[in-house]
Structure 1
């Protein structure tokens, strides 16, 4: 019988299917560090596994042979379009993080999911993460890292991601300052630039705010995966996230004010154009009347027989226009 509730095979939903799957496994304790390229653990106390490339579903899913990960969690690993979240399931912590990073003057999107147990942390990436070399260097040189519990590695990674978000924020804030200066000085800015900047701020906030909320909720649950010695580090991380979230909220207000200023400048510019057009139209109203009056085909129109009638007419038109211009200026209509 067909079972509509049968387990579905995970499907990779990302755009980096050309990236081969590579596993970097750090086996370590306070005195020893060994590395391998498989999920199989060596008989050491703690493990950090970095998986880069999610196209080889069978290879990545073989993690279930060593960690009791349910099928729904593995499906979530390959679904890179999820919102940021941190979940606690049967003694296993699972998290999804979307992040922005500044690379060669451009903002790049990145994805990471992680699975953490009492002695193992696994992170999954579509492409090599920007902190890959930094983590490798810390494992080789930082004895504190190898002495600490695996949640300390989670803190280090999230802290580096947050630092990356701060770099992106500084970059966007500088661009916002330039846009504000241009608006105040010339009253004109390219609309595409303005809306692109708003979109980048929104994307960054969508990375930061859910992470802050989910991390705060998870730490308050006392899941026993977070060692008390590492609590000050996570408190500091939350403080950085909170300050960044507040800055982004302020930037959202700034962008709203800049939008109002942009619309107001556009309206004022249109008003000036309409004022100029109205001025010229008003100047020609009496001139049009005079032209129409003297252009009538009356049989008897004695003034037209006057020798200097044309000069008088042109002079009268000029004086009428000059008078109206002076009147508009006196009334401060422009």
Structure 2
């Protein structure tokens, strides 16, 4: 295990939310967590997601969090310096206190600090999920080579940002009139229709995009969501399975299936099994969506407990090699 040990002789070596009154050091953990998480959020906001797969985006988000873990560890451990002082050795009349900072990302200790920052970000940093929702990975027909079609498309994006979804749809329609194979224009048209709760038109837009690019990730992921809104759960399952055929290790396939089975079809076992698979992939990808899946599994634990099925719950977790806690 890779560790870096620091020997601290003076408590106040860092300016990290500590305030000193006489000999007492007051440490506001929540304020400190907020400061470091805000730094990570700024870093995440600067990530360029264009033409990147989700694994790459998740990796960059993870690096932003990694950059704050060491400081967070040190702050928490310095706050406990009084406890360490009791067992400290005296050298040349001074107490020597060793504080070990663990930089091994695979260690349990490191993960605890990492996950604490990650959970805070998921609750308080809006950009973290908007970055992960990006589906701008290009294919040959994702964007148009026609300058006028691109101009209308960009106007559509601007209108979408202003929540003018009807105006945005009109711009996207103009873009596809000029270039009928402009897949991203249909994708964004589908999003706008979905936000207007015009689900049938949203599906039509996504299907037109998929005729142009059968492997388009945005329409494949979003069409399942639209079917859930329409309460057409069998169609939603087919949509996620269709995505799974193209991307067998896409965690959103399993998250979507798990959600449908557990929340809409009252099949807790299938719901939990799929959610476990999503969780493991999110962990491997260092995706911030890990926390959402973790919370969903905790919710399912409560449901299994109500139905006196905790043995089934534990069995499914064991099958997926997830340790119960």
Asked if Structure 1 and Structure 2 have the same fold, meaning a TM-score greater than 0.5 normalized by the shorter chain, the answer is: no
